[in-house]
Copies of this chain bind each other. A is one copy, B any other.
Amino acid sequence: MVTLKEIAQLCNVSITTVSNVLNDKPKVSEETRKKVLEVVKETGYQPNFFAQGMRKQKTRMIGIIVEDLDIFSTSPIVEAIMAYCDDNNYRTLLVNMRLYDKWQDTWYNNEKDIQSVFQPNIQELLSIKVDGIMYVAGHCRYINYFKKDFEVPVIIVYALSTSAQFPSVIFDDDKGGYDITKYLLAKGHRKIGVIAGTPDNIHTQKRCFGYQRALFEENVLFNPNWIKHGDWERGSGYIKAEKLVKEGVTAIFCMNDLMAAGAYDYLYENNITVGKDISIVGYDNNQISEYLRPQLTTNNIPMKEIGRTAAEYFIKLIENEIGPNERQDVIKLTCDMVIRDSVGSV
């Protein structure tokens, strides 16, 4: 690996001069500049990453912390962030906390355990002196553990920073629930059941709110018995679908595609045809939604866009290109419906 020193020798100039050329400093004659650049190109010089990092404050590295890469939403977001950073000449350092404990098939719950996972991971990033940290939240539950005072900028992606301490990029759950319900109402449905997520979950709550808002707007009475809470997994979709069918609903709004698949399972077993006898809508636009039969009408969460938007805003933040009046604490993206074949008219 060729160093500044060697280039300086080849050009008969000092190390300082070479450095000045490479950093576009003024005190160099045109002639010298040309010669140095030529030698630099010839030798294929690459600045030593560590030496540079030691001197400069900026490393052009962005740390990405994720709770678990196996969460459905995490990978596409991370990919989009990485792609944008790459295009803008930033390196990324991905730290996977793996909060999902495979051996116990459960998420970390114990407060102390969680802290013990958070601390070292964050410390590590800071010791590498990243220029900023992007926290991709999957589970809202953990976000509150992320509240240290950092000497670098921080952004929360996919979930709202409850303390409003950090800027966030999220999507509009309320509109999602509203759109789906309006759509079903427009198709003539009046008895619309919901297979919701876990009750304390913020997504669940906001989507429920959108659901009720739509009903209210159309003067359709809200029946609390038609909301059943699942656990986001396929199995709970099966169980809750059975209950809702017995309630006599004509359409079911499932708060993710996995539970919608569970609902399909129940309906198939009982010879109830989706899209004809009953209508189903999902949420997420998970890959599987295209493989269910009939293909599932759902609400697309624009993961890639969320990642890209977050990265774009964040890099501006790091580079101080955001004026005080452009500053946004929450950037909210909208989800649009993907109409497929699982909804019929009544």
Q: Which A residues have a C-beta under 8 Å from some C-beta of B? A: 46-51, 53-54, 69-70, 75, 79, 82-83, 86, 91-94, 96, 98, 123-124, 126-129, 261, 264, 268, 287-288, 291-293
Taking a contact as CB atoms under 8 Å apart, the answer to whether B46 and A53 are in contact is: no
Contacts of A53 in B (CB 8 A): 49-50, 53
- Interface pair A127/B291, CB less than 8 Å apart: no
8 contacts between A and B (CB under 8 A): A46-B127, A47-B127, A49-B53, A53-B53, A70-B79, A79-B96, A93-B93, A287-B287
Measured CB to CB, the nearest residue on chain B to A92 is B94
Verify A96–B82 contact, CB threshold 8 A: yes
Which of A94, A261, A268: most chain B CB closer than 10 A? A94
**Would you give the shortest CB distance from A5 to chain B, in whole angstroms?**
14
Residues A75 and B69 in contact in the complex (CB < 8 Å), given A48-B127, A53-B50, A288-B287: yes
The SS class assigned to the A binding surface is: helix
Contact: A129 with B288, CB < 8 Å?
no
Q: How far is the CA of A185 from the CA of B53 in the complex (A)?
A: 62
* Docked-complex contact B83 and A98, CB < 8 angstroms: yes
Which residue of chain B is the closest to A288 with respect to CB atoms? B291
B54:A51 contact, CB within 8 angstroms: yes
Q: Bound state CA distance, A93 and B86, in angstroms? A: 13
Contact A46-B79, Cβ < 8 Å, known A288-B288, A291-B261, A293-B268: no
Q: Is the CB of B94 within 8 A of A82?
A: yes
Given the complex of chains A and B, what is the CA–CA distance between A324 and B326 in angstroms? 61
**Sample of 8 more A-B contacts, CB < 8 Å, known A54-B54, A86-B96:** A46-B127, A48-B54, A49-B129, A50-B53, A75-B75, A83-B96, A83-B98, A91-B124
Q: How far is the CB of A109 from chain B (nearest CB, A)?
A: 21
Distance in angstroms from A136 CB to nearest chain B CB is 14
Interface pairs A-B: 10 shortest CB-CB? A50-B53, A50-B54, A46-B127, A288-B291, A50-B50, A49-B128, A69-B79, A291-B291, A49-B127, A75-B75
A48–B127 Cα distance when bound, in Å, is 6
**Complex interface: chain B residues within 8 A of A70 (CB):** 79
Bound Cα distance from A49 to B92, whole angstroms: 16
Which residues of chain B come closer than 8 Å to A92, judged between CB atoms? 94
CB distance from A71 to the nearest CB of B (A): 11
Complex Cα–Cα for A146 and B51 (A)? 28
Cα-based distance from A75 to B68 in the complex (angstroms): 12
Residues of B within 8 A of A288 (CB): 287-288, 291
Min CB gap A302→B, angstroms:
15
Q: Which residues of B contact A47 (CB under 8 A)?
A: 127
How far does the Cβ of A98 sit from chain B's closest Cβ, in whole Å? 6
Complex CA distance for A264 and B82, rounded to whole angstroms: 36
Report the bound CA distance from A268 to B294 in whole Å. 11
